[in-house]
Structure 1
Amino acid sequence: MRASPFPIREASVANALAANRLGPFAIGSAIASSVAPLTVVTLVVPLAAAATGLIGFPIAILMVAAILMLYAVGYLAMARHIPNAGAFYAYVAHGLGRPAGVGTSWFALATYNSFQLCCYGAFSAAIGAPLLSDWLGFDVPWLIPALLAWALVAFLGANEIKVSGYVLVFLVVAETILVALYSLAIMLSDGFRFNGAAMSVGDLSGPMLGVLVILGATSFAGIEQSVVYIEESKNPKRTIPVATYVTIATIAAVYWLGSWVQISAGGPQILDRAATEADNLFFNQAAVVLGQSSVTLGKILLGTGTLAAAIAFHQAIARYVFALGREGVLPRVFGRTTIKGAPRNASLAQTVLALIVLIAYAVAGWDPLVQLFYWGSTAGGFGILLLYTLTSISVVAYFAKNTHGENLWQRAIAPLIGTAVLLVVSWLAIDNLPGLFGVDPGTGPARVVPITLLLVFIGGTFWGLGLKYANPQVYEGIGRGTRSATASASGLSTIL
C-alpha cells in the first residue's frame, strides 16, 4: 500500500479509545460474553437439533474450534501490525484493497447487528416475558423486558469500557459455572450414558458438514473480537493472543461438555424432546437431580447471559462505527469519544437502530424466538463464517507483499491452510443454507439472507470506490486508524 501523501500528526489525535485499560481476563470475558455459553447450550443446541435433525453438535464444536485456532495464527499476526478497532475492515483494506475493506466493514456491521439484535429476542421471549408473567400473575408482552434490556445496554454502551467490563466478567463467570455444574448433575442422573453417535465423524462429511459448521460458527461468533479491543488493551502483543487462544479453548470445552451431556441425556427421543422442550431441555434434565428450583435459577442466568451477549456485541459494533467515523468513511461525528475514551456517538447510533428493530418486530407480530433469535443468530453465523474466510485471504495477501518479520508458519503456512479449509466449509454452508433455516431452497431467509449480505458488501465496496474520487484524503486513510491523515488532521476532540 502506498504511503499517504498527507502529514501524520499522531500526537494530536484526540479521537482515540482509552488506552491501557484491559488485560487478558477482561478481554476474554468480553468475547466469552458475546458467545454466551449458556445461551448456546440451552437455546442453540436444542433449536438446531430440532431444525436440522442432527445430533453431531459436539463433534462439530471441536472441529470449528480447531479451525479457529488455525485461523487465529495469521489473524493475530496481522493484528500486531495493524492495531485498529475496525479489525476485519482494516485487515481486508490492507490485504485486498481499500474498497473491499469498506465493503467488509458494512458486511461486518450487518453481521454483528444480526447477533446483537437476536439477543433481545432470546432474552425476552425465552426468559424475560415468561418469568415476569409468572412473578406478576399476568401475561407480559415480550417487548417490555426487551426494552428494559435495551435501556441497560444503551447505558453501559455510552460509558467507558471498564463499566461494561465489570458486568461482563461477573455474568460470564456465573453462566459458565452453571453450565459445568448442571452438566455434572445430569451425568449423575440414573441411567445416564454418553451417546457415541454425537461424536461420530460421520456427521462431518457430505452436505451436513456445512450445516454443522454454521452452527459451530454461530456458537463461537465474537471470538475474533479480541482485536477490536487492541487499542484499549494492556501490552497488546501478549494480551490479545492470550485472551484469544485461552477463550477459544475454554469455550470449546464448555460447549462440548454441555452439548454432549444434553444430547446423551435426551436418549433416543432427543430430537422430539428438543422440538417440544426447546430452551427448557437442559434445565429439565438437570432438575431431575437438582430439583425444580434449578430451572428458575437457570432461566435467570440464561437471561443475564443473553443480556451480556447483547452488551458485548453492542460494544464491538460501537467500535467498528467509531473506527469508520474516525477515518471519515462514515460521518466524523461517530469518530468522537468522551473524555474517558468511550465511543458514545457510535454507541447511541446503535442504540437507536436496535430500538427501531424491536418496535418493528412487535408491530409486525413476528416471533422473537424463531424469527429474531434463531434466524438472526443463524444469519450472523453464516456471515461471520464468510468474514473469517475473507479475512484469512487478506492475511495471505498482506504477508505475500511483505513478511513484516513474521515467521513462515505465522505468515504463510497457517493462513494458507486456514484459508483452504474455510473456503471449503463456506461453500458447503452456502449449499446447505436452506436446511439450516428449515425452509425450501430459494425461499424465505435462505434466499433473503445471502442476497442481502451480498448487496451490503457491494454497496460498501462502491462507497469505498466513490471516496477515491470524491474525497482522496479520506480514501488514503482507510484502514489506518490513528495513523489516518483524516483522523490526525480532522481536529476532532473529546466530548463530555
Structure 2
Amino acid sequence: MTQTPHVEETSLKTGKLGTGAVAFMIIAASAPLTVLAGGTPTSYAVSGLLGVPLGFLAFGLIIGLFAIGYGRMSAYIRNSGAFYEYVSQGLGLRQGIAAAILALVSYNLMQIGLYGIFGFSASAAIAAMTGVVIPWWVTGGAAWLLVGLLGMSNIDFSAKVLAILVTIEFIVVIGASIFGFATAPEGISTAPLAPDQFLTGGIGVLLAFTMAAFMGFESGAIYSEEAKDPERTISRATNIAVIVVALFYAVSAWAMAVGIGPSQVIDQAREYGPDLLFVWIGQHSPAIANLVHVLFATSILAALLAFHNAAARYFFALGRSGVLPEVFAKTGKSGAPIVGSGAQSVLSLLVVAIFAIAGLGSELGELFPVLTLFTWFTNAAGFGIVFLMAVTSIAVIRWAKEHHPDFHPFVRLVAPALAAAGLAVVTVLILMNFDIMIGDTGPAALVWVMPGVVLGSGLIGLIWGEFLLKRGRIRSVDGELDTGDVVSESDERIGAPKTPTPTLNP
C-alpha cells in the first residue's frame, strides 16, 4: 500500500485567496465598527484630546512605513508563520523562534480577550431587544463554537463569511459618519483636526490607545501560502488595508466628535464609555441603536475568527518546523490547520471558563468580562504585536542588505528604519501608560505581569530555540535539518514552500 507523502498532510490549501479576500481578513481583524464603538470613545475619554483622528493618521503612517518593507519581503518569503520566518531570515533562527513563540502568545491573548467584550455586547444587545438577560459566557460560548467550526473549514469559506461581516461593518460606520456630519449640533468643526489637539500633553496615551485599532493588519502575510498570487497578493492587500483603515478610522472619529459636538464629546465619552455610540444614535432612533448594537457584536465575531485563523496558522508553522510537536502541522481535507485550530479553541475554552467562574459574584457585575478578560488580554497582546513589528522592521533591513541591495534605498532602509523607530516609541509609550490602559480592576502587579508574560514568552522561545538547534531538531517542510544561521536566498528554511524567487522591480 502506498502511503500519502508526509508533505501533503502538512500543507495548507494553496491558491484560494485573492487580494480582496486577504484584505477582508486583515480589515476584519482590525474590526472597524469595534474601533468606532469601543476604541474611539476610549481614546477621547482617556487622552482628553480632540485629536483622535490625527492619532489614527499618525499611527497609520507608521504602519504604512512598516508595510513597505514587510510587503516586499512577503513577495519573496512565503510562510504561514510570518513573524517567525521574517525574523529568522533577517536576524537568525534563534531570534525567529523567539518571535514565533511571542507571536503565538500575543495572537492567542488577543483572540481570547475578545470573547470578553463579545459576550458582554451580545448579551447586552439581546437584553435591549428582548428583555431576556443571558450570562456573557453563554453568548461567548456560542461564538466559540461557531469560530471553532469555521476555523476548521476551508479558508475561502471563512473569507466569504468575513467579507459579509466586514461589508456590513463598513456600511454601518459610513452611515454613522454621515449621520454625524448631517446632525452636527456645533457645526462641522475642524477642531479635531487641529495640530494643537494632537501635539500636546496626552499624545502618549492617545498613540497607545489608537495602536489597538490597527492590530491584525500585519496578519496578511500569514496567508501567503494560501494566496492565489503570493508575489503580489499579500503586499497589495496589506497596503490597501492600511490606507483604508487609517482614513476610515480618522474620518469616523472626526464624524463622531462633530455629531456629538467637540465641546461635549470628551465628557460624554468619559460618562458613557463604549456605550457612547449607542447612546448617541439612540437619542434619535432607539431601533437603529439596537441594530447597531447587534452589528457591533458581529464585528467582534469577525475579529474573533480572524485572530483564530492567525493563531491556528502559527501553531501549524511551528509544528511543521519542529518547534512544537509535529501533530500541530496536520491539516484536514479542507486544507485548514485542524490541530492548530483545535488547540486554539481548547485554550480559549479553558481561559473563558476560568474567567466565567471568577466573575461569579464579582463587584464589577456585568462589566466583569470587559474590564478584566478583554482589557487585560488585548492590551498585553497589542504590546506584543507592536514590539514584534519593531523587531521585524530591523530584520527587513538586514535581510534586504544581504540579499537585495538592488532594492531602492527607501524600501530597504529608510522606510523600515523609520517604522522601527516609530514602533519602538509606541512600544515604550504602551509600557509607560499600561496602568491607564488596564485601569484599576485588578492587582497592581498586572502592570508588570501582563507585559512580562509577553516578553517572557519571547525569552523562553530564545532558550527553546537554542536547545532545538543544538539537537538538530529544526527542519524544513521536506524534512531537512536547519542550521539556525541567517538564511540564504534559497527558501530552504523553516517550512517555507520551495518556490522560485520572483523577479520584481525594486
Do these two structures clear the TM 0.5 threshold for a shared fold by scoring above it?
Answer: yes
Partners of 1:186 and 1:285 within 8 A in 2: no
2:287 is equivalent to residue 293 of structure 1 = yes
Q: AA paired with 2:136?
A: W
5 Å-filtered alignment, 1:293-442, equals: 293-365=287-359, 367-403=368-404, 405-438=406-439
Cα distance, 1:304 vs structure 2: 0.7
Structure 2 distance, partners of 1:399, 1:482, is: 15
Partners of 1:61 and 1:256 within 8 A in 2: yes
Partners of 1:477 and 1:485 within 8 A in 2: no
Q: Which deviates further from its counterpart, 18-27 or 90-99?
A: 90-99
Structure 2 distance, partners of 1:386, 1:20, is: 31
2:209 is equivalent to residue 215 of structure 1 = yes
Residue by residue over 1:243-276, the C-alpha shift from the partner in whole angstroms, topping out at 9 and shown as x without a partner, is 1111111112221121112123333232331133
Residue by residue over 1:168-200, the C-alpha shift from the partner in whole angstroms, topping out at 9 and shown as x without a partner, is 000001011110011111221152434544323
Cα distance, 1:444 vs structure 2: 4.1
Partners of 2:79 and 2:496 within 8 A in 1: no
Report the equivalent of 1:445.
446
Q: AA paired with 1:80?
A: A
Cα distance, 1:431 vs structure 2: 2.7
5 Å-filtered alignment, 1:139-154, equals: 139-154=133-148
Name the SS of the counterpart of 1:235 in structure 2: coil
1:86 pairs, out of 75, 81, 84, with 81
Report the equivalent of 1:22.
17
Calculate the TM-score normalised by the size of structure 1: 0.90
Calculate the TM-score normalised by the size of structure 2: 0.88
Structure 1 distance, partners of 2:452, 2:347, is: 21
Structure 1 distance, partners of 2:231, 2:240, is: 15
Structure 1 distance, partners of 2:123, 2:23, is: 30
Residue by residue over 1:445-467, the C-alpha shift from the partner in whole angstroms, topping out at 9 and shown as x without a partner, is 32222222121110111010110
Could you say if the C-alpha distance between residues 317 and 30 of structure 1 is closer, same or farther in structure 2, counting changes exceeding 3 Å? same
Cα distance, 1:80 vs structure 2: 1.9
Name the SS of the counterpart of 1:421 in structure 2: helix
Residue by residue over 1:377-401, the C-alpha shift from the partner in whole angstroms, topping out at 9 and shown as x without a partner, is 2222222211110110111121222
2:112 pairs, out of 96, 105, 117, with 117
Partners of 1:156 and 1:164 within 8 A in 2: yes
Structure 2 distance, partners of 1:395, 1:74, is: 6
Structure 2 distance, partners of 1:170, 1:397, is: 40
Q: Which deviates further from its counterpart, 383-392 or 52-61?
A: 52-61
Report the equivalent of 1:6.
none
Structure 1 distance, partners of 2:388, 2:278, is: 34
Report the equivalent of 2:468.
467
Could you say if the C-alpha distance between residues 405 and 80 of structure 1 is closer, same or farther in structure 2, counting changes exceeding 3 Å? farther
Could you say if the C-alpha distance between residues 145 and 450 of structure 1 is closer, same or farther in structure 2, counting changes exceeding 3 Å? same
Partners of 2:30 and 2:214 within 8 A in 1: yes
Report the equivalent of 1:73.
68
Name the SS of the counterpart of 1:236 in structure 2: coil
Cα distance, 1:207 vs structure 2: 6.1
| Residue correspondences, number | 477
Structure 2 distance, partners of 1:84, 1:446, is: 34
1:185 pairs, out of 151, 167, 179, with 179
Residue by residue over 1:43-97, the C-alpha shift from the partner in whole angstroms, topping out at 9 and shown as x without a partner, is 1112333344343221110011111111111111221221111011111111111
Structure 1 vs Structure 2 CA RMSD: 2.6
Report the equivalent of 2:482.
476
2:257 is equivalent to residue 259 of structure 1 = no
Cα distance, 1:351 vs structure 2: 0.2
Structure 2 distance, partners of 1:171, 1:219, is: 17
Could you say if the C-alpha distance between residues 53 and 439 of structure 1 is closer, same or farther in structure 2, counting changes exceeding 3 Å? farther
Unaligned 5+ segments in structure 1 are 1-9, 489-496
Higher helix share: 1
Q: AA paired with 2:217?
A: I
1:59 pairs, out of 42, 54, 57, with 54
Structure 2 distance, partners of 1:450, 1:203, is: 29
2:292 is equivalent to residue 284 of structure 1 = no
Could you say if the C-alpha distance between residues 233 and 273 of structure 1 is closer, same or farther in structure 2, counting changes exceeding 3 Å? same
Structure 1 distance, partners of 2:483, 2:342, is: 25
Cα distance, 1:410 vs structure 2: 1.6
Name the SS of the counterpart of 2:133 in structure 1: coil
Partners of 1:52 and 1:435 within 8 A in 2: no
Could you say if the C-alpha distance between residues 450 and 356 of structure 1 is closer, same or farther in structure 2, counting changes exceeding 3 Å? same
Report the equivalent of 1:201.
195
Q: AA paired with 1:343?
A: P
Cα distance, 1:327 vs structure 2: 0.8
Could you say if the C-alpha distance between residues 477 and 358 of structure 1 is closer, same or farther in structure 2, counting changes exceeding 3 Å? farther
Structure 1 distance, partners of 2:232, 2:189, is: 39
Q: Which deviates further from its counterpart, 276-285 or 152-161?
A: 276-285
